[in-house]
Amino acid sequence: MPSLNANGIRIAFDTAGDPKSVPLLLVSGLGLQLTAWPDEFVEGLVELGFYVIRFDNRDSGLSTKFEHAGTPSLGLAWLKSLLRIPLKPPYRLEDMADDAIGVLSALGVARAHVVGMSMGGMVGQLMAAKYPSRVLSLTSIMSSSGRRGLPGPTQAARRALLRRPRGAGDIDAAIDYNVQLLQAIGSPAYPTPEKHLRRRVARALRRNCCPGGVVRQMLAVTACGDRTPQLQTIVAPTLVIHGAADPLVPLACGVDTAQAIPGARLEVIEGMGHDLPSQLLERLLALIDAHAHGKMAPDSTPRLFVKQ
């Protein structure tokens, strides 16, 4: 896996397609590696004429880890957040946005379409706000503005998140835990067979496993707080995609994000949870293609994609 130096750290990356094509940067979510973007999704983007760039966020995959910073206490961070006490994370989401811009610069890419999922959507939002000249368009998938008062995960999703593997260092226990988590937050109308989930999780864990990195990324999200002021400055054409059945980041978060970004378009997909099920990849590709090529007029009215 190739890597590059960006923003003072080492970042692993992967590209697909013709470098002369229009660049499109994929930004992964919390604790996810670049391999979390399905290969068929990447291949579909290449077929649509994009030069696709994926990378491992800091503290995940094969990129630089911040183990020297230790593993923060999320409970303490949550309490401080409630009391509005400033948090001091090892790094912030703004740093991760700088990383992403650094990846583009290292690859000689002046401007790119940016597609981010979950935490990656938050990073993409900050990229578009801080570096307007570098972002051709923004697609924020199953993400949030971070505004106070928005609903949180369902009880089932929260329980799945707080559950811990049976034994530290036990690979089988780690696989079981991650599979159960993915099942809890996945799309109810588009379930992924368990054997496929197990294969995907095992592949990811073999590539890298950094539980402390997940916690540090989570703290960066918490410390970032409400991004509404930044969202209101975004000038890049923006598409917000959100699942109506998302148990981790409820639909209200996507609605709020779209309302905060001037001219943003909201696409709501019925039956979709907090994942990228294979059954929806064609639909997602069509939306991104139309958006990137300016075929979607700005519209604040949600469009529902209903399972046939």
The mean predicted confidence, pLDDT, of the chain is 91
Write out pLDDT tens, residues 282-295.
999 999 999 999 87
Domain with 217 in it: 3-293
- The reply to whether 306 falls in a domain is no
pTM exceeds 0.85 for this model: yes
CATH number at residue 133: 3.40.50.1820
- The reply to whether 300 falls in a domain is no
- Cα distance between residue 65 and residue 213, in whole Å: 7
- The reply to whether 298 falls in a domain is no
- Cα distance between residue 216 and residue 213, in whole Å: 5
- The reply to whether 304 falls in a domain is no
Q: Which two tokens stand for residue 25?
A: 């940067």
Mean pLDDT for back-to-back runs of 10 residues, the chain (308 residues): 95 97 97 97 98 98 93 63 70 97 97 98 98 98 96 92 72 90 96 96 94 91 93 98 98 98 97 98 97 73 42
Q: Which two tokens stand for residue 177?
A: 């835990």
Residue-level pLDDT at 69: 82
- The reply to whether 307 falls in a domain is no
Q: Which two tokens stand for residue 167?
A: 């034994």
Residue-level pLDDT at 301: 46
Sign of the CA dihedral with 149 first, then 151, 152, and 154 last: positive
- The reply to whether 108 falls in a domain is yes
Sign of the CA dihedral with 187 first, then 151, 285, and 296 last: positive
Residue-level pLDDT at 74: 64
Q: Which of 205, 218, 219 is nearest to 176 (CA)?
A: 205
Residue-level pLDDT at 216: 93
Residue-level pLDDT at 126: 98
- The reply to whether 249 falls in a domain is yes
Q: Are 38 and 276 in contact (CB under 8 A)?
A: yes
Overall domain count for the chain: 1
- The reply to whether 179 falls in a domain is yes
* DSSP letters for 52-108: EEEEPPTTSTTSPP-GGG----HHHHHHHHHTTPPP--SS-HHHHHHHHHHHHHHTT
